[in-house]
Amino acid sequence: MSEETFDVIIVGAGALGVATAYYMQQNNPDKKILLVERTLAAGQANTAMSAAAVRNMFSSSTNQILTDTSIKCFEYIQNELGHDLLFEKTGYLWLLSKEQFEHESVQLWMKRMEKSGIHYKVYNKDELKKLIPSLNVNFAGDEEAELMNLQEVCYGLYGGDCGVLDPTRLVEYYFEEFKKITHVKPRFGVNVQKLLLEAEPKLDLPGEPYVWQQKKIKGVVTNKGTFRADVTVLATGAWANELLDPVGINSMTKAKKRQLFVLHAEDNPKMVELLDTKGFNEINCIPFTILPSAGVYFRPQLQERGYWIGCGDKFGRAYEYIQTDEMMVPESAYYENSMYPVLSKYFPAFEGARPVNSWAGGYCYSPDSIPFVYMECGVLVVNGASGSGIMKADALARIADALYRGEPEAELFGGKKVSSKMLSIKDRNVEIESVVI
């Protein structure tokens, strides 16, 4: 097979990969940077399978910085540069029980947001019922709700700077900007089979590298040949372990399957009325809404006049060693038996609603729900975004580029500076994130 040499190889053309490629090429104009992707176009794997929502409402200051600066950058791209990302400030609405709202973790969350200047508003039960008349806030005497462990809604925690966007358009922006400045044409349909681990220096001994030799990742072996590079960037999300495990690098992350189901509202007046809820935002629609129980959430999809329904189930959902897309198949029974009963209890407008489309993808979770950006043995890993990679993409890409250039700090959008090693394994300096959907 053929063999080619580059300065940098970036594996993965999702939101994290293309943004990293753009900033690395922009700040290293003389470097030959090759972007490779196993699918046939940028942003068509797990990035396209996400809920495509963005929020700065996190409990950790780290995630607040990563998301708030990225969201402001997305606004700049759309409003100032004229690249329509379909970014709509629908807002995020957490529906909470009295016990949930008064819990110390939620109170700490609000205090940290206040300290960081993250804007939010608290609604009580009466205010919520006035804004959303169809919301069921009282399960008194409902034996079925009691059996399902559903908690009554007493409060709403709302963030107006949050919203939804089109992930394909976001990827398209970074990818097109990267193509304008790159010296190397990106390659698609390239399946990276393994990382190229070699002794340094090579002694050309049979079976090397041995344990007593220095070792380094020198590129990748693919179905299209061997590509060599001084640094290999891994932005493969849920597939990271497939490449890192065989060379003995612990990614510190695990993947879970996540599913989304599409409901159209056009033939259901009650669903239309809910979709067009007024009072939360300037575009007069229901916010991205998280229910108090079972991890069920929904987001408005205004272009299709409908909703995307998802669930962040935790205990009971296995971590998976995701090797192929074939494993990422949505389960209709999961919607019917797990999500729908909860959804229709809180919002009776959804009674009888059945999906018209669905998809599934892999979310890559870290132990503290904060991303990783670290360099080890020639591999620069950008991973572990815990289901919020899109909303952190710009900041993570800037940090990855700064780490590659050996800069002690990365400058995020708006001028905020952070340590380029803050998301590493050895020099990690973050708070544990408690607000994970």
Residue-wise pLDDT for 230-255, tens only, equals: 999 999 998 999 999 999 999 899 99
Average pLDDT, the chain: 95
Whether residue 171 is predicted with pLDDT greater than 90 in this model: the reply is yes
Q: What is the mean pLDDT of residues 397-404?
A: 98
Residue-wise pLDDT for 22-73, tens only, equals: 999 999 999 999 999 999 999 888 898 889 999 999 999 999 999 999 999 9
Whether residue 324 is predicted with pLDDT greater than 70 in this model: the reply is no
pTM reported for the whole predicted model = 0.95
pLDDT of residue 1: 66
CA distances 194 to 41, 65, 106, 250, 353, Å, are 21, 34, 43, 15, 44
What is the percentage of the chain residues whose pLDDT exceeds 90? 91
Give me the count of residues in the chain: 437
Is residue 323 very low, low, confident or very high in pLDDT (cuts 50, 70, 90)? low
Taking the C-alpha atoms of residue 237 and residue 174, their distance in angstroms, rounded to an integer, is 18
Distance between the two ends of the chain, CA-based, in angstroms?
45
Taking the C-alpha atoms of residue 179 and residue 186, their distance in angstroms, rounded to an integer, is 8
- DSSP per residue, 130-141: HH-TT-----TT
* Phi, psi torsion values for 144, nearest 5 degrees: -65, -45
pLDDT of residue 48: 86
pLDDT of residue 413: 98
Structural domains of the chain ordered from first start: 3-51+168-252+368-419 (3.50.50.60), 92-159+254-362 (3.30.9.10)
Q: What is the mean pLDDT of residues 158-174?
A: 97
Residue-wise pLDDT for 367-395, tens only, equals: 999 999 999 999 999 999 999 999 999 99
Closest listed residue to residue 237, CA positions, set 18, 64, 7? 18
